[in-house]
Structure 1
Amino acid sequence: MPNDHQRFFVLTGGPGSGKSTLIAALGDAGFAGSTEAGRAIIKDQVLIGGPALPWENPALFSEMMLSWEMRSYGIAARNEGNHFFDRGVPDIIGYMRLSGLEVPAHVQTAARRCLYNRKVFLLPPWPEIFAQDSERKQTLEEAKRTFDAVAQAYADCDYELIEVPRADIEERRRFVLETAGLA
């Protein structure tokens, strides 16, 4: 993987905290972004009656997410400019720990090879915007546990966690761009 990871920024946190909305707002400002692996995989697996669903086979779901995240990373590496990721490889470590799964060596290796900017943007649980849907079956309490698990995974991978304030989308976008040095 290339060494230009400083231009790769991760937005992470629990489900329903506004990550995808913020990625879209950053896209509207001209920045490239990636689609969240989990929701896309769930949608595809439901469509085809596949087994890689978090409530059926969390280990297989984890492997699918790893493949997705590594592919997204490779695509971003082939392009120029800054890129915002809706989650990253360390999220999978957090998810696996949360699911009570052992984190295999190859997942740890992927986290060491697919590096991102040291500043990782952490979106905290936000009860006022949290909503369940066909892909997001977690409760708010589960979303909070996910937030804690992914935050710990990024900290364990030596990233600097920067909490994004709960605010309107323009303020959140401005905060991320200023903190990333891209304003």
Structure 2
Amino acid sequence: MNHFVILSGCSGGGKSTLLSELHQRGHAVVKEPGRRIVQEETRTGGQALPWIDMALDDHANARRNNKWTFFDRGLIDAASALEELTGEPLLATLGQTHRYHPHVFLAPPWPEIYATDAQRRHGMDAALVEYDRLQRVYPVLGYEVTLLPKVDVVARADFVLNTLAQQ
């Protein structure tokens, strides 16, 4: 069984907070590649934003662990964004060669908690476009998608772990 679980969905929907809660409970986590890249490039004054390479490295490095590993986004999110921008067909290959657990959790739009910050400079409109794309992409690649409930982080983490335990 694949223990790599994707937490994806709408920007500002509480994924990073959920990831922190799962980490506090002892689970392995992989933070969002895009945020890490933007943080590093901002710190160093760089302009490179290699999301795909970092997401591939994250996937490969997580293989050392045989328990649940939760990814804040991942390769599919990066590839779908790049495919959207460039038209280069990346999803068909990357989406099949680098698989995650068949159950993906999507954070729905949650305007009440949405906020911009140094790494998230886009507005809610862009977040909604991204969310719509991801909601289409995951099922096409054969993933079962479950929307995360809009509840506090403890209840959200319980929901994720209970859903996985039932499979």
**TM-score exceeds 0.5:** yes
Shift of 1:97: 4.4
Q: 2:150 aligns with which of 163, 166, 175?
A: 166
Matched, 1:86 2:33: no
Aligned residue-pair number: 167
**Where does residue 58 of structure 1 map in the other structure?**
none
Q: How far apart are 1:42 and its partner, in Å?
A: 0.6
User: Which range moved further: 126-135 or 147-156?
Assistant: 147-156
Distance 1:49 1:96 in 2: 22
Letter in 2 for 1:109: T
Identity of aligned residues (%): 33
Runs of 5+ consecutive residues of structure 2 not aligned to the other structure: none
CA shift for structure 1 position 96? 2.4
Q: Distance in 2 between matches of 1:132 and 1:65?
A: 20
Greater mean alpha carbon deviation, residues 43-52 or residues 133-142: 43-52
SS at match of 1:33: strand
Q: After TM superposition, list the pairs within 5 Å mapping 1:122-161 onto structure 2.
A: 122-161=106-145
Whether the 8 Å CA contact 1:14–1:125 is kept in 2: the answer is: yes
Using the alignment, how far apart are the partners of 1:151 and 1:65 within structure 2?
20
1:76–1:83: 8 Å Cα contact kept in structure 2? yes
1:175 matched to 2:159: yes
Of 17, 26, 29, 2:25 maps to 29
Structure 1 residue aligned with 2:7, among 7, 11, 20?
Answer: 11
Taking structure 2 as the reference length, the TM-score comes to: 0.92
Q: Do 1:10 and 1:120's aligned partners in 2 also have CA atoms closer than 8 Å? A: yes
Partners of 1:38 and 1:65 within 8 A in 2:
yes
CA contact (8 A) 2:12 2:114 kept: yes
TM-score (norm 1): 0.85
Offset of 1:21 from its aligned partner?
A: 0.6
Supply the AA of the counterpart residue of 1:101.
T
